[in-house]
Chain A
Amino acid sequence: MKKKNSINSSQDKLIARRGFLTRLWQGLGVFAAFEFTGLSLAFLFSGRRKHVSGKAHYIECGAVNDFKANSAIPFRSGLFYLCRLDDGGFLALSLHCTHLGCSVAWRSERNQFLCPCHASAFDLQGNVINPPATRALDLFPVIIEGKTVKVDISRKIRRKRFKKSQVTYV
């Protein structure tokens, strides 16, 4: 009777050990799976921001006097409109609609930017005057050096709505 017990317990031990080893292998397998997932993700994300250099990239737009008040001139290579407001101030608006990213068209007869995708409309300052867009057109920084207007297309600024402080004056 006693002997039988001891056989049983040694078998239990054996099973316990086997179970432990199985668990160990499973654990190592899960660990390896995590490792490879991590490796793949690290690989995929490492190249994400390589195109952002952080250095300013200026586009020369022309002389200050070339731009009439109340006008929006497209600079397609830089993907922006250079706008001159009533009061002579300059704004560089991204030509991509803030709704889903289509390029907006300036309709001078209506004095507004109109998006061909969902008919969002923006005024010359970039404010939304017709939804579905929910925020004003993005900005690029404008500087005026001497008599020349330049726009830094490396930095796109998101904003909720137009503020006076966003305008660059001569």
Chain B
Amino acid sequence: MNNGTGSTSSFIWHLHPRTLPESTLRFNHTFGLGGMALLLFVVQIFSGVLLRFVYQASPAEAYHSILLLQNEMLFGQFIRNIHYWSGSFLVMIVFLHLFRVYFSGAFYSPRQLNWLLGLLLLFLTVLSNFTGYLLPWDQRAYWATTISTGMLEYIPLLGPWLREWLIGGEEIGGQAMLNFYTLHTAIFPFLIIFVMSFHFWRVRKAGGVVVPSDLSEKENAFVPAVPNLVVRELAVALVLLAVLFMTAALFNAPLQAMANPALSPNPTKAAWYFMGLQELLLHFHPLLAASALPLAVSLGLVLLPYLNYPKQPQGIWFVSDKGRQMAWVAVLCAVIVTPLYIVANAWLPDVQNFIAVDPIVAGGVVPAIVLLLSLSGFYYGLKKRFKATLNETVQALFVLITVIFLILTITGIWFRGADMQLVWPWQIP
């Protein structure tokens, strides 16, 4: 490759640094997750534009246009599968990217603003996927969207208004579909492109991806980006595309019977990335599960890079060995306590059968207090036991909450059958 005189290579030069530390080239330094997200976003745009030539956004037409797409059009099913799977992959990759950035300490100054931009991109990605979920207008789409938008009702003051504005009426119908279609195919992609450009620019401004701060001079030697970085990116991109196309060729995107507003299937489940929330809603009052807890977690994520950390271990996985041990303790706690709680909640009789308490007290205030007490018990217990710094204790808390949410999600997807009873995965209809 010549040194940046051709237009192709000058484009590559523009997106990349000219040289970069050799240590950051290792795959397990970043796992290439940001690049994968970009590639999947591009795939989404291409496959989405193709789908737009066939899809008709109205309750009467939508389902039939999907059938037409799948049954009559050459590669129709395949293109829908690619769009479906790359959308799901994108949500997963973006979450993994968040974890990579957090656990490798790539959010300290000067990357704090970029952490926020990343959160915004995560939010937009989930919303994009969510607004696309309704569009096929089958039973799965209709009821998943009904319960997800139903969660909005419980946001104090704004909730009911927000819900009605989003779906344009009391129930999901033609207006909701049009709203979602516009958000999904115009507004969110545009916002994502905008924020994403900002995100990339901030990475360049911070001097590229995070460099481990404990490297020797020799390990930190700089090498040219072309070809060292570019071939690695190409390799990751090709493998990802191969996996995506294989998945799309082997597994069809689901399509159930046409939406019937009078009949929810049993069980009715939200999109997989909302199943943790849905599981939470089984246990707690909606004011706590759908409003207070998500708000607290989002606020925590926003504040994460702005806490007063005693050290800034940039590019060092899990802060330190102590941090790693504490993270394992957190995983252990979550893995033991969460399933126990879920099973106990299913088998023990409800408190309200014995004493008459307001549901908001029984399912909201009491659990909130218990939760707060056990989280602070965990936090201070760990802090004292390990004589840990703020970096390490906050990280342990982060791991604890993440693993709890992961277990809730897994339970919701694979362990809830008819009437939302606990079952084994193979018993789910």
Interface positions of A (Cβ within 8 A of B)? 44-45, 47-48, 51, 74, 76-77, 79, 95-96, 99-103, 105, 114-119, 128, 130-132, 134, 156
Which one, A48, A103, A119, A156, contacts B282 given CB within 8 A? A119
Of B61-69, B77-85, B259-267, B401-409, which binds chain A?
B259-267
Check if B168 is an interface residue, CB within 8 A of chain A: yes
Q: Is the CB of B147 within 8 A of A100?
A: yes
Q: List 22 A-B contacts (CB under 8 A).
A: A79-B261, A99-B150, A99-B281, A100-B147, A100-B151, A100-B286, A101-B149, A101-B150, A102-B143, A103-B264, A116-B419, A117-B147, A117-B264, A117-B278, A119-B421, A128-B359, A131-B285, A131-B350, A132-B284, A132-B363, A134-B359, A156-B170
Chain B window 166-187, contacts with chain A (Cβ cutoff 8 Å), 1 for yes, 0 for no: 0011110001000000000000
Q: How far is the CA of A130 from the CA of B153 in the complex (A)?
A: 20
Question: For the complex, what is the distance from the CA of A103 to the CA of B266, rounded to whole Å?
Answer: 10
The CA-CA distance from A117 to B263 in the complex, in Å, is 12
* Nearest CB in chain B: distance from A117 CB, A: 5
Query: With the chains together, A117 CA to B265 CA distance in Å?
Result: 9
By size class, the interface of chain B is: 35 or more
Note all chain B residues with C-beta closer than 8 A to A114. 419
Chain A residues whose CB sits within 8 angstroms of the CB of B420 once the complex forms: 116-119
Inter-chain contact B268/A134, CB cutoff 8 Å: no
Q: Choose among A48, A131, A156 the residue with the greatest number of B CB atoms under 10 Å from its CB.
A: A131
Tell me if B146 counts as interface (CB < 8 A to partner A).
yes
Which B247-269 residues sit within 8 Å CB-CB of chain A?
261-269
One digit per residue, 1 when the CB lies within 8 angstroms of any chain A CB and 0 when it does not, for chain B 352-374 equals: 10000001101100000000000
Question: A128 CA to B115 CA in the complex, in Å?
Answer: 44
Question: Quick one: closest A residue to B268, CB to CB?
Answer: A117
B134 to chain A, nearest CB (A): 14
Which residues of chain B from 108 to 165 have a CB within 8 Å of any chain A CB? 143, 146-147, 149-151, 153, 164-165
A residues less than 8 Å from B289 (CB atoms) = 132
- Give, as a whole number of angstroms, the nearest-CB distance from B265 to chain A: 7
Residues of A within 8 A of B264 (CB): 102-103, 115-117
